[in-house]
Chain A
Amino acid sequence: MLSMVLQHIPSWIILVQALLLLIIPLLLLKLTRWLRKALNGRHSARSDMRSAAETEKKSGKDSTHTAFKLTGQYASEVTLIREHTSRNTDVKIREFTIKGTQTRVAVLTIDGLCDNDIIDTHLITPLMLRGVPESEADGFAQSSHSINSYLKTRLLPVTDIAETQTLGDLVQSVLFGTTGLLVEGMEGAFLLFSAGGKSRSLEEPLSEALLRGPRVGFTERLADNTGLLRLHGKNESLSLTRHQVGTRVKKDLVIAYMKDIADDGLVQEVTQRIQRMDIDDPLESGYVEQLIEDNILSPFQQVHNTERPDRVIGALLEGRVAILLDGTPFALIVPVTFSMLLQSPEDYYERWISGSFVRLLRMLAAMLALLAPALYVSFISFHPGLIPTRLALSIIETRQGVPFPALLEVLIMEIAIEILREAGIRLPKPIGPAMGIVGGLIIGDAAVNAGIVSPFLVIVVAVTAISSFTIPSYSAGISLRFLRFIGMFCAAFLGLFGVVMFFLFLCSHIVKLRSFGVPYASPLVPYRFSDWKDLFMRFPLQVMKERPQMIKTKDSDRKK
């Protein structure tokens, strides 16, 4: 009995393996924790520093001229303003006298942001040419208040009119593009016309082309974009709440949602995360996306981006929340689920049979794009016995001259094609396709002839590349491209077993991931059959009467 027990005591090498088994994941855990902490730590440290700096700035502020009250001392105030804006050569000051009075005024504009035509016709013309009739001149100059009210009611035919009392405010607003009007003898100053500036016209979105569907994409101007959402249709429940982000460069950001559909908790969570952001200038909505996402270490995007207003509206109607940032045509949609990345608005615009077919095709393509090279490597280098004999023979025949192991062979081709693709994007439009042809056809053919790769592999790589183009969202496509390489390495080390492990690992990651509280894998799992109407198949619209349950909408009925 004892000898039997002794026989089964593991050898030291097994014990070492057991130890490794424990230690390596512990080290990995430590590493990820440290990474996360380092990222978060920097964030909080920065916000501490910022608040300290802010208080300092505030205390220093009072001593300068920025809080200087505008009292109507025209000459001295104009001098002060000139002093303040001496470093900004694009600030223009136009001085003249209101007709019929002795009151001097100064119009403050900035180049490029103010519309000179409108200023000429609506501001300067009435003041300089019409002015105050003689009979009313006395009443006009009586007091600061009378000047103010006379100008507002009789002389400024402008919708957008505001007032400010301090010099700092005035200068700041002028620098941001508002037109300032300083009047002798009047307290404060007028701020007229909202900031303008050039914007491009509405164009078809480049990154998400559709054959059928609206040809309109967002532009760089926030007002245009929110306008596009409003323009979509008369809808009282669309809420657009405005926030300011950026510590140095202030930018407007709009959170859009349907107030009687979207879950309040979700809206609150989004708002909180937006307000917690700490960055000097969010250049693009990608900055916002990365600062509010749940898991920084995940290869999958947890915030969806789109240029299409119809897509945003569709998401809002499902109870999601959209984030629009000034200065970028890309709107963000949260929460996002994995299934969303493979869906295109066209699925809904086409009839349901063709829509479903295309959607299934796309899922197949995504699988191919992710796993095809990995399967090739595992079958060629580990299990040639598992492919049909004749196919195996023909593949082996073509591979005869290839001097590399399967992994290296695939890597050469895959990396080549990734480089080609990246180069194609950067090139000017007329050259791009030509480059693709040169790269894809000629290099592929030459590589086969030179015996570096086998023709079968060229087929695999080409099919993979084309499959990855079917994924409607560019960001999701990048994720899959990246994961494909990991899959290939798994296959190279552990064959088919490695591919299965890779798949399980990916699934484990997806089921653990959440985007704003919604499981990333939903609605596939947990099983919600009512949501499956819009998952693999796109059921007829008559059947899809309810909003997705996974987003916990306030109003689940689509009919209302």
Chain B
Amino acid sequence: MSRSSDQITTAQAAVIIINYMLGAGILTLPRTAVTASNSPDVWISVLLSSLLILLAGFVIVKLCRRFPGQTWFQFVPQITGKAIAFLISLITIGYLLTISAFELRVMAEVTGMFLLEGTPMWAIVMTFMWVGLYLTTGGIGSIARLFEIILPITLVIFIITFSLSSGLFEINNLRPVLGSGVIPVLLGMRSTTLAFAGFEIMLIIMAFMSSPQKGMKAVTWGTIVPTFVYLVALVMTIGGLSLGGVKVATWPSLDLIRSFEIQGLIFERFESLLLVIWIMQIFSTFTITHYAASLGWSQLFDKNIRPFLFMMLPVIFLIAVIPKNISELFMLGQIVGNVSVYLFGTLPFFLLIISKIRRKGETSN
């Protein structure tokens, strides 16, 4: 029975990817994208990035299909040999831990600024991490089920809050389309692609899928929904705040929601709602990376995952407190994003080729 409970359905796999992708990006993407491209055409960048991600996801699914039931940490040694694989696994774990810590810190910063002024950071962070730990000890099945509860709530509230902001929307803020050529769009892709970091979780959760042949379906849905969310966030924020306004705001989406009031409803301001769903999204990104990193350790040493789940808590906390201020924090985010592109954008491709050449794993189809 414990074995079957660790299986996840295709829908659950997609939901995990979506919840992982949607994290700090909802609040920061408009600023990073606009700063990188300096043009309102970043929504095209998002579309192009999602295509790129689909491609990378396709490669990952192909790779995983050759090693059914095995995670990234288990099948890489068969392709590259033990030593290199150990290194790759360590980097992966480090990457996952850093993402986890990054999201944690962003959450603490935003909560400290908008919800709990004056509350010490450790109080916020510890509660958050303990609840996360409680969930992760339940295994991937529990994580997937919780994500399935969170996601619909997120989407509904997200759509409500952003559609309420339509009063501020100025189509002229988005014009002219492609006014300065294609170059800004490509520049924008540098930051929009980072917002899609999260598809790499397929390397790990494919092993738990009850029907791995539908892996590509999960990746496709897992990319379409965040693309939609990011598109809405970008278009509404730029349309509402204008290019210049987005650039100077630290959390542009939040500023957008804060900048209007609607009379006659129970709430006049909706940032609390947006913050609530956003905390939930950060929670999901945090838990899945925490779980994946611990799973990495446990599979590396062939031990039970539980002690690692506990031990990773202080590690994540210590990484999270390293950045001294918000700009250092965003720098960290940038670095992690870049690592993700190399680690999961290109490496799986080479590994796939090598495994084909060395005839490792099952030849699917």
Chain A residues with CB under 8 Å of chain B are 7-8, 10, 14-15, 17-22, 24-26, 29, 382-383, 386-389, 493-498, 500-501, 504-505, 507-509, 511-512, 517, 519, 521, 524-527
Contacts and interface: CB of A to CB of B under 8 A. Distances in A.
Q: Give the interface centre of A15, A25, A29 by most chain B CB atoms within 10 Å.
A: A25
Nearest to B122: A17
8 contacts: A17-B126, A17-B317, A25-B310, A25-B313, A497-B127, A507-B146, A524-B148, A525-B148
Contacts of A511: 135, 138, 142, 145-146, 149
B142 A508 contact: yes
Interface stretch (B34-42, B47-55, B268-276): B268-276
B275 A498 contact: no
B161 to A, nearest CB: 13
A383 B272 contact: yes
Contact of A525 (B126, B149, B269, B275): B149
Interface residues of B, number: 50
B245 interface: no
Contacts of B266: 388
Given A21-B129, A386-B267, A496-B115, 12 more contacts: A10-B321, A21-B313, A386-B272, A388-B268, A388-B269, A389-B268, A494-B123, A495-B116, A497-B124, A511-B149, A526-B11, A526-B145
A15 B315 CA distance: 10
A14 B121 CA distance: 11
B91 interface: no
A527 B321 contact: no
A387 B267 contact: yes
B322 interface: yes
Nearest to B265: A388
A316 B23 CA distance: 44
Given A501-B127, A501-B131, A517-B1, A507 B149 contact: yes
B22 interface: no
A519 B314 CA distance: 31
Contact of A494 (B11, B127, B149, B275): B127
B148 A18 contact: no
B134 interface: yes
B27 interface: no
Interface of B: 1, 8-9, 11-12, 111, 115-116, 119, 122-124, 126-131, 133-135, 138, 142, 144-146, 148-150, 261, 266-269, 271-272, 275-276, 279-280, 283, 310-311, 313-314, 317-318, 321-322, 324
Nearest 10 Cβ contacts at the A-B interface: A18-B314, A511-B145, A525-B148, A512-B138, A508-B135, A388-B268, A525-B145, A386-B272, A512-B142, A505-B131
Contacts of A7: 324
Nearest to B126: A21
B313 A526 contact: no
A22 B313 contact: yes
B137 to A, nearest CB: 8
Q: Give the interface centre of A8, A387, A527 by most chain B CB atoms within 10 Å.
A: A527
Nearest to B277: A500
B119 A494 contact: yes
B279 A497 contact: yes
A25 B290 CA distance: 15
B148 A527 contact: yes
Nearest to A378: B115
B116 A504 contact: no
A15 B321 CA distance: 10
Contacts of A526: 8-9, 11-12, 144-145, 148
A21 B314 contact: yes
Nearest to B123: A494
Contacts of A389: 268
A199 B111 CA distance: 62
Nearest to B148: A525
Contacts of A495: 115-116, 119
Contacts of A15: 318
Contacts of B128: 501
A505 B134 CA distance: 8
Contacts of B148: 524-527
Contact of A508 (B111, B123, B134, B311): B134
A15 B276 CA distance: 29
Contacts of B318: 10, 14-15, 18
B1 A25 contact: no
